[in-house]
Amino acid sequence: MSARNERSFARIALVALAMFGFGYLLVPLYDVFCEITGLGGRTNTSAAVVEEAPDLSREIRIEFVTTVNSYAPFEFVADVDSMTVNPGKMYFATFTAKNLSGDQKIAQAVPSVAPVSAAEHFKKIECFCFESQEFMADEAKPMPLQFIVDPDLPDYVDTITLQYTFFDTARQAANNAY
């Protein structure tokens, strides 16, 4: 192989490695970006303290949308597509995740709320998204969510869409151990 071909090959390999590294770091970088800027419809990342004062005169539709990262060997669904709630009242929802691989995996769900103006009013009391979840080979398990919609939610919001994207984080966890 000529020196020119070797340089071209090295450049192409470096670009491919840089693209892989960027893709691998995209989720943590997005998390940091959303935390700093408040963008991305993120809700609280730790349990909220709730004092119930339900507004029974108002109904809000909560829609649950689930996606799985294209490289994650998981099935992930909400047990119901939507529910109608009253602001100030506590509710429970369950999602089901299944490891489709024959290996042990660690996964993390990343939440997003739309419209963005509703994100600060959607309070998670308990959420599977607070921590990484460990799955044995071919294991399926229920993933609980306990939440309340703040009565201070703007009046123009009558539907909130809660989306979770499920990521395989086993490789990242292994790298952090070293």
34 has a pLDDT exceeding 90: no
66 has a pLDDT exceeding 90: yes
pLDDT tens digits, 78-101 = 999 999 999 999 999 999 999 998
CA 173/CA 107 separation, integer angstroms: 10
Confidence of residue 6 (pLDDT cuts 50, 70, 90): confident
Instruction: Give the mean pLDDT of 159-174.
Output: 80
Main-chain phi, psi angles of 135, to 5 degrees: -125, 135
55 has a pLDDT exceeding 50: yes
Q: Give the predicted TM-score (pTM) of the model.
A: 0.67
Higher pLDDT: 20 or 104? It is 104
pLDDT tens digits, 109-121 = 999 999 998 998 9
The domain 41-176 belongs to what CATH superfamily?
Ctag/Cox11 (2.60.370.10)
